[in-house]
């Protein structure tokens, strides 16, 4: 259980103290400072590319553990408040470090994907997530491959759910993407390819048909 | 930071209100008589910018802008609050569905057996409301659910539930969670909750005075005197008020509906 949970939650790169804290939180949330735990998770997500894409799972497990043990919500509440603070400061973050900004987007999207409430995604996050994706779809962001990469990754992972919750904003987002494919000078050829692929994925109901898979991935070694 | 935003948002709201008053369109924010989208100058575009193709000059979080479909937001909420409110709303909706199905099934079964003797089914002993006669106002249900949660979130309730399985419950002796779907006046409901929580104190953990061996102790007459007796609880049971060192504080807590008892107890235990 110990090793598999480290693997599963992608925390193997953290220092021992942090790993222990998180493992204890999973087993016995009442015995740790959950506010501290949520801060640790947010901070690590902003620094660690790999973890930012997977933090949702460990977060949800802790949420459920806390509910089961005490009916409480401290962890989730603090996590959301931190998310909100970082959201408010996102433009500043992006100016300071595109990496950190990209980590934040991955993180909030992953939380949206995994932390469900009554089996539904947290509706309060829909607009903020869209706001982030819209930011990534701006011309200045699309010129950076890492931002394009982040954008298409999130769309692959949560595009379908997002569209179900707010189809209009998804349409508007794709207007921007289409414009970029056709008109944006600074878009790299890889960027263009990534956007075309996600365009097609959406058009076929968020899956990739076999011919499309061949077209986009035949040259790619994974 | 939030003060700034509140200020900006108030300005926007005030600006919109002024526009509305001037043009006389109190019911329609977006369109003029010709059906075209009316531009309110900054107010509208500021509200829209976050939602329509992001104009990154004003990256205000969505919770600070007035959502068009839902009407004015009375106060700025943080995501923690919003998610909890959503959670309660979806739980309550799910509960309504479940309850409706239950009473419809119950009605059917009741018709099948004409005489129901000794049945402890809640739908027999108390008049089960017709499916159309239940409380459906979400605000009311959410408030009631919150009050029920405060009571259930206690050590006393945990111990009670473990000690007395549902089928062994005796009416009058064992506290029963008030049914949030029945129509009651506000006063009646609040009193039911109060009494229910007081009764639950009989199962407080023995670390406190007033253990479950002695539920009948002194009565706080001041509390009883203004009780409303128009609900379906057996009046005799009201005598069983556990009075302990904690009675004052627990009754106080009951009437303010503030800190959930569990949190209080942990504090008390840690101070012991």
Q: Is the pLDDT of residue A176 over 90?
A: yes
B56–A87: do the CB atoms touch at under 8 Å?
no
How far off is chain A from B129, nearest CA to CA, in Å?
A: 27
Nearest to B265 by CA among B175, B192, B174, B158: B158
User: What are the tens digits of pLDDT across the range A5-62?
Assistant: 666 788 888 899 999 999 999 999 999 999 999 999 999 999 999 999 999 999 999 9
User: What are the tens digits of pLDDT across the range B49-105?
Assistant: 444 444 444 555 555 555 555 555 555 678 999 999 999 999 999 999 888 888 888
How far off is chain A from B80, nearest CA to CA, in Å?
A: 5
**Where does residue A46 rank: exposed (0-12), middle (13-18), buried (19+ CB within 10 A)?**
buried
Residues of B in contact with A90 (CB under 8 A): 59
B78–A91: do the CB atoms touch at under 8 Å?
no
Query: Which value does ipTM take for this structure?
Result: 0.85
Band of the pLDDT at B138, cuts 50, 70, 90?
confident
A76–B62: do the CB atoms touch at under 8 Å?
no
The encoded tokens of residue A91 equal: 């433009």
Interface of A with B in 169-208 (CB under 8 A): 169, 172, 175-176
A122–B contact, CB cutoff 8 A: yes
Question: pTM above 0.80?
Answer: no
Number of neighbours of residue A150 by Cβ within 10 angstroms = 26
Task: Specify the DSSP class assigned to residue B34.
Answer: T
CA–CA dist A145, A94 (Å, integer): 14
What's the confidence (pLDDT) of residue B29?
53
Collapse the DSSP code of A20 into the 3-class scheme (helix H, G, I; strand E, B; otherwise coil) and give the result.
helix
The encoded tokens of residue B257 equal: 């509906």
Interface of B with A (CB under 8 A): 1, 50-54, 56, 59, 61-63, 78-80, 82-84, 86-87, 90-91, 94, 149, 152-153, 262
Scanning every residue of chain A, which has its alpha carbon at the shortest distance from the alpha carbon of B80?
Answer: A77
Residues of B in contact with A120 (CB under 8 A): 90
Q: Are A58 and A41 in contact (CB under 8 A)?
A: yes
Scanning every residue of chain B, which has its alpha carbon at the shortest distance from the alpha carbon of A133?
Answer: B54
Task: Specify the DSSP class assigned to residue B38.
Answer: P
Number of neighbours of residue B158 by Cβ within 10 angstroms = 15
């Amino acid at each position: 259980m110990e090793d598999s949970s480290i693997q599963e939650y992608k925390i193997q790169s953290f220092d021992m103290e942090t790993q222990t804290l998180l493992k204890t939180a999973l087993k016995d949330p009442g015995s740790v400072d959950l506010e501290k735990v949520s801060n640790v998770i947010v901070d690590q997500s902003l620094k660690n590319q790999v973890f930012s894409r997977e933090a949702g799972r460990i977060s949800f497990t802790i949420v459920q553990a806390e509910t089961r043990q005490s009916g409480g919500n401290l962890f989730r509440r603090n996590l959301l408040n931190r998310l909100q603070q970082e959201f408010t400061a996102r433009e500043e973050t992006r100016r300071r470090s595109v990496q950190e900004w990209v980590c934040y987007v991955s993180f909030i999207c992953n939380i949206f994907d995994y932390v469900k409430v009554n089996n539904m995604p947290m509706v309060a996050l829909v607009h903020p997530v869209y706001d982030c994706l819209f930011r990534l779809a701006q011309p200045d962001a699309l010129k950076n491959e890492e931002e394009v990469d982040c954008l298409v990754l999130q769309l692959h992972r949560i595009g379908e759910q997002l569209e179900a919750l707010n189809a209009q904003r998804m349409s508007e987002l794709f207007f921007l993407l289409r414009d970029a494919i056709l008109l944006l000078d600074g878009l790299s050829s890889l960027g263009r390819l990534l956007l075309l692929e996600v365009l097609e994925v959406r058009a076929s109901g968020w899956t990739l048909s076999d011919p499309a898979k061949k077209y986009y991935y035949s040259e790619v070694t994974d | 930071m939030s003060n700034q935003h509140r200020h900006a948002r108030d300005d926007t709201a005030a600006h919109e209100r002024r526009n509305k008053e001037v043009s006389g369109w109190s019911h329609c924010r977006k369109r003029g008589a010709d059906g075209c989208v009316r531009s309110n100058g900054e107010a509208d575009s500021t509200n829209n910018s976050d939602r329509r193709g992001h104009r990154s000059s004003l990256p205000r979080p969505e919770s600070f802008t007035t959502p068009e479909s839902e009407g004015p937001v009375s106060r700025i909420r943080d995501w923690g609050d919003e998610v909890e409110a959503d959670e309660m709303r979806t739980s309550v909706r799910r509960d309504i569905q479940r309850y409706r199905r239950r009473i419809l099934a119950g009605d059917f079964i009741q018709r099948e057996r004409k005489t129901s003797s000794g049945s402890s089914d809640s739908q027999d002993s108390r008049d089960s409301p017709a499916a159309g006669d239940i409380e459906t106002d979400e605000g009311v249900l959410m408030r009631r659910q919150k009050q029920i949660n405060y009571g259930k979130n206690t050590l006393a309730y945990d111990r009670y539930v473990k000690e007395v399985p549902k089928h062994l419950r005796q009416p009058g002796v064992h506290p029963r969670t008030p049914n949030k779907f029945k129509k009651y006046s506000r006063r009646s409901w609040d009193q039911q909750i109060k009494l229910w929580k007081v009764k639950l104190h009989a199962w407080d953990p023995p670390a406190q005075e007033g253990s479950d061996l002695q539920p009948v102790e002194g009565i706080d007459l001041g509390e009883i005197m203004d009780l409303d007796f128009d609900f379906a609880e057996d009046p005799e049971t009201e005598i069983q008020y556990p009075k302990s060192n904690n009675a004052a504080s627990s009754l106080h807590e009951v009437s303010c509906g503030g800190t959930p008892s569990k949190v209080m107890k942990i504090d008390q235990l840690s101070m012991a």
